């Protein structure tokens, strides 16, 4: 019961932190912070579906409904899942804090933001996307659902294509500063 409560609170706080960052940035700059693209729409849709499946699984849904594989005898997988959920949450919060008013949801081609290279952005160029990947993978390790896994794989692919598009945008906007940053900091943690 304590584990389910913890997992539910982490997910709810992760979602709330995202919403609060959006609101704070919007109020601060007094402009829309949401880009428009099919990738962004799909990423929001798939994330929302995964969040709903997790919350429903935590509350009352039967594991069979989401095609969950019973790995309860492998306690280590559950423990690794809990570590991933916690690490993804912390990484996401640190990324949201570091972005300050440079935070955008998708690319806003009509707005130039500062290039954030401090805080967690010294370790990863995309810590918020990485936090999503780690957090959701953690939940999948705890509740190994074939349905959630399918949405997760699609989401990871969409995030990667969004990152590639964002890199082109940042290169165009920040030029040499972004090139120098790319030389120092990896896209995720270990891959360029």
10-64 pLDDT, tens digit per residue, is 999 999 988 888 888 788 877 776 778 899 899 999 999 999 999 988 887 777 7
- Give phi and psi for 3, each to the nearest 5: -65, -45
Check pLDDT > 70 for residue 173. yes
Q: What is the pTM of this model?
A: 0.89
Count Cβ neighbours within 10 Å for each residue of 50-86 and write b for 16 or more, e otherwise.
Answer: bbebbbebbeebeeeebebeeeeeeeeebeebbebbb
DSSP 141-179: HHS-BHHHHHHHHHHHHHHHHHHHHHHHHHHHHHHHHHH
Mean pLDDT of the chain: 89
Beta bridge partners of 41: none
CA distance linking residue 111 with residue 106, whole number of Å = 12
* 181 within 8 A of 125, measured Cβ to Cβ: yes
At the topology level of CATH, where does 2-184 sit? 1.20.120
- How many helices (H) and strands (E) would you count in the chain? 5, 0
- pLDDT tens digits, one per residue of 109-132: 887 888 999 999 999 999 999 999
The pLDDT of residue 33: 66
- Dihedral Cα 17, 19, 21, 25, nearest 10 deg: -170
């Amino acid at each position: 019961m304590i584990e389910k409560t913890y997992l539910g609170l982490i997910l709810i706080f992760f979602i709330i932190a995202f919403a609060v960052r959006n609101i704070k940035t919007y109020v601060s700059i007094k402009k829309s912070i949401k880009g428009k693209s099919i990738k962004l729409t799909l990423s929001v849709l798939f994330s929302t579906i995964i969040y709903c499946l997790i919350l429903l699984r935590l509350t009352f849904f039967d594991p069979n409904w989401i095609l969950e594989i019973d790995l309860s005898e492998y306690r280590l997988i559950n423990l690794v899942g809990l570590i991933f959920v916690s690490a993804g949450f912390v990484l996401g919060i640190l990324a949201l804090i570091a972005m300050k008013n440079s935070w955008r949801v998708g690319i806003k081609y009509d707005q130039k933001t500062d290039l954030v290279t401090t805080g967690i952005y010294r370790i990863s160029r995309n810590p918020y996307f990485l936090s999503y990947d780690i957090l959701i993978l953690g939940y999948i390790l705890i509740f190994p659902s074939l349905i959630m896994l399918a949405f997760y794989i699609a989401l990871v692919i969409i995030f990667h294509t969004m990152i590639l598009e964002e890199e082109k945008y940042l290169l165009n906007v920040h030029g040499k500063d972004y090139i120098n940053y790319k030389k120092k900091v990896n896209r995720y943690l270990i891959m360029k």
